[in-house]
Amino acid sequence: MATAVALVPTAFHPVQEASAAVASTVSPASGDSAATAPLIVEEITPRAVGKKSTVTVTGKVTNTTGETLEGVTVRLRYSSYPLTGRDQLESHSAGESTDPQAFGPSLTVKGPLAPGESAPYELKVKTSELGLGGFGVYPLAVESTDAAGERLGVQRTFLPYDDGSDVEPVEVAWVWPLLDRPQRADDDTYLDDTLDASLSADGRLGRLLSIGGQAGGFDESVEEPPADGTADADEDTAAAEKAGGTPAKDDAAEAPRAADSREATTDVPLTWAVDPGLLDDISRIAESGYQVLEDGESDTPRVAPREASENAATWLEQARVLIGEDPLLATPYANPDLAALLGSGLENDAESSVTLGRLTLQQVLGRSADHELAWPAGGAMDDATRDFLADRGAERFLLDDSALPASEWIAHTPTAATSLPLGNGEAGTALAIDGRISEEISADTWEPGQAALAQQRFAAETAMIAAEQPGGERRAVVVAPEHDWDPNPVFAQGLLEATEDLPWLEPVALDEIQADPGAVSEREGPVYSDSAAQAELDGDHLDRIKDIRGEVRLFNSVLTNDGDPFRPAILRLESAAWRDEDEAATRALDRLATSVDETIGKVRVMPGEPVTLASKSGTIGILVANDLEEHSVTVHLSIFSENSERLSIGNYTTSMEIGPGGKTTVYVPISARINGRTVLHMSLQNADGEPISAHETTTPVNVTGLGTTALLISGAGAMVLIVALAPRALRKWARKRHEAMSGEGEQDGAPAPGAAAGATEAMHHNVSAPSGQRPDATSGDERGDGVAGRT
């Protein structure tokens, strides 16, 4: 905690530095666009004037024409008669009513103004000179004219006046939003890079955290840095670097920031509003590297790696300290569109969002939220949503005032709290957010000429509520900016200061606003209008979610430990934030569908080489892999032959459990009836026989083995070959025998030359005889000669 508090001054630093640069403001509705405005009001002091006050208006006038202007004049216009209702505030701000007719002080710019040239102005007038009648809100306008009196520009604002009358103060409770749309599709892939930037000291969420942390003061138990500015240089450097800033060059000059921040604190209590899903998104990038979608227009978007976010780590550390034990309102995980889910048969997802939200909040912030306080998406709820939230502990419901309209007989702004019957027969409380104030302060306050007049509008709205004085009864107003609130830091700080300083306001905690069960309700409802119903997530979006959930269900069915790793991602797709962000919602849906398909593909039958079966039967090995890094799976292997008449499959082990990153081989007996080619189809299924993926693995099998008939045919062929070759072999044997016998005769006695020649001739005659003639088929004389000769 001490480390986080040491980092707080760094986060607060932009608030003080920005005050000099952005002291101006004008609501866009008050006049010209800031980018081309010929007149800008930068500051009005004081915010509320009294009898002895001096009103000071400062700003800048610009020549936005194409010609040089002479005699440019800036002047005040006002009315001595107060506005009588909040509708008149809107009409005056929008220029729909007549501008005030009384003229106050004026100033003529010295010298001509060339095109595009600007000049400052300052107008002062004592309140006593304006002739204001009493407590209330008075219209004020600042206009510029040329030498001919033609208007060049105008800005319309208000002058709240407190004449010291005994006005019953209005209680104001603030809900401070730390909210955003879901940032991730699957658990590791973010839709863009905006979250890291938003968490920096000068980012949207960084500013909201630091400004809100200044409200209500600091914990007195936290030790302050040395007052003499001698804070340890190494600690300051490390803190600045961790916060994503630049280490201070002069420690002595930078150290007093903590004291300055303390002086800027207010005693305005806040109720923080957080989305556990957003906290989960922040925690993820704070822990390790992640990836971001790129090329959103491509059919196959690429992802780019990112390192762990130091901004996220620092923001979380500060949040745990600054939020501390302050009142905390938490939406269910990812702020789901409960009305759409409950109306589409997705009650289990609604239940999961509540359970996961509470668990995530405890893990990230180390505390729980107020379970009795609920803020339904869009600030409206139907009966089913009310009953669902009430069954899970909600008793107080934060709703837009459009869902809790004032009763027809009410002519003033009714108090925020009203009794709300709950479905279980008990009574709860509905708290109406003041829609007009929340809308006005949520407008853009960054362009020149926007923040100061937005401050005046806040002061005017609350003063008008106080001026209504309905019988002296005390009323309360709830202010809750929009979820994507991105205020100028000076403006946001000024709102909290105004809440504390304006004499007709009394800041209170949200849980102090209670409904009087015995009082007649001044509000109707709650009302769930047709426009609220039409704003729900549409059927196409929910249908795609259901398709993805079907694939996820099949994947979960093979996880050994009954896990549900895609549950947070599914809940993020059911966020009400996608109501108005069709393009981002489509990207999230596409990415998650791809991620589910890729993850299922990691449990697979690995393709093998084609199989050649050289016998009637054999065994093949099928390799099944689980490439998941964190989950064990239990799968069933299914195999069938494309031609079962040619190739059949025997019994094999169908079910197997495979650990993370593991592989196993299944040995499958096969047998062939006839030769030829066929294909084996293999897939993995769950225990119910459902394929977990549409993708199959195939293996070609070529049967070349010989059967009994083939062996008989081959044997007969061999016999024919032997019979054909036997005569040739016999002749060769006979020739060799004759040669051998002739050699013996020469050794026993020399025959007559004629006899030898005759014997040789006879031998040659016999060897070369046709194969159909026996070798001994000679005359008796020839046989006798031969015998005699050998003897």
CB 162 within 8 A of CB 138: no
Residue 484 burial (CB count, 10 A): 13
Token code pair at residue 62: 């610009």
Q: Give me the residue spans of the domains in the chain.
A: 539-600, 603-705, 719-790
pLDDT band of residue 711 (cuts 50, 70, 90) is low
Q: Is the pLDDT of residue 764 over 50?
A: no
Long-range contacts of 716-724 (CB under 8 A, 24+ apart): none
Task: Tell me the average pLDDT across 752-770.
Answer: 39
What span, in angstroms and rounded, lies between the C-alpha atoms of 239 and 12?
A: 13
Encode pLDDT of 338-396 as tens digits: 999 999 999 999 999 999 999 999 999 999 999 999 999 999 999 999 999 999 999 99
Report, in angstroms and rounded to the nearest whole number, the Rg of the chain calculated over CA atoms: 47
Domain range 603-705, CATH architecture: Sandwich (2.60)
Q: Return the DSSP state at 49.
A: B
CB neighbours of residue 738 within 10 Å: 18
197-201, 260-264, 578-582, 643-647: segment of lowest average pLDDT: 260-264
Omega before residue 276 within 30° of 0, cis: no
Say if pTM beats, i.e. exceeds, 0.85.
Answer: no
Give the per-residue pLDDT at 732. Answer: 79
How do residues 446-503 score in pLDDT, each as one tens digit? 998 899 999 999 999 999 999 998 876 789 999 999 999 999 999 999 999 999 999 9
CA pair distance 49, 131, nearest whole angstrom: 13
125: tokens are 């007038």
Q: What is the pLDDT of residue 744?
A: 52
Q: Are 659 and 626 in contact (CB under 8 A)?
A: yes
pLDDT at 323 over 90: yes
**Is the pLDDT at 586 greater than 90, yes or no?**
yes
Task: Calculate what percentage of the chain has a pLDDT beyond 70.
Answer: 80
715 confidence band (pLDDT: 50, 70, 90): low
Q: pLDDT: is 520 or 539 the higher one?
A: 539
pLDDT per residue as tens digits for the range 526-583: 999 999 999 999 999 999 999 999 999 999 999 999 889 999 999 999 999 999 899 9
Residue 223 main-chain phi, psi, to 5 deg: -70, 135
Q: How far apart are CA 620 and CA 36, in angstroms?
A: 79
Average pLDDT, the chain: 83
pLDDT band at 236 (very low <50, low <70, confident <90, very high): very low
Q: What is the pLDDT of residues 19-48, one digit of tens each?
A: 333 333 333 333 444 457 899 999 999 999
Residue whose entry in the numeric block shows the structure tokens 């001490």: 2
Q: Are 621 and 656 in contact (CB under 8 A)?
A: no
Confidence at residue 364, expressed as pLDDT on a 0 to 100 scale: 97
Q: What are phi and psi of 697, to 5 degrees?
A: -110, 135
pLDDT above 60 for 201? yes
Mean pLDDT of the 143-160 span: 95
More confident residue, 333 or 165: 333
pLDDT at 24: 35
pLDDT band per the 50, 70, 90 thresholds, residue 646: confident
The pLDDT value given to residue 298? 58
pLDDT score recorded for residue 34: 47
Answer whether residue 763 shows pLDDT above 70. Answer: no
CA nearest neighbour of 161 among 79, 90, 76, 98: 79
Position 465 scores a pLDDT of 96
Is the model more confident about 64 or about 16?
64
> Side by side, which strands form the sheet with 611-613?
611-613, 697-703, 676-685, 633-641, 655-658
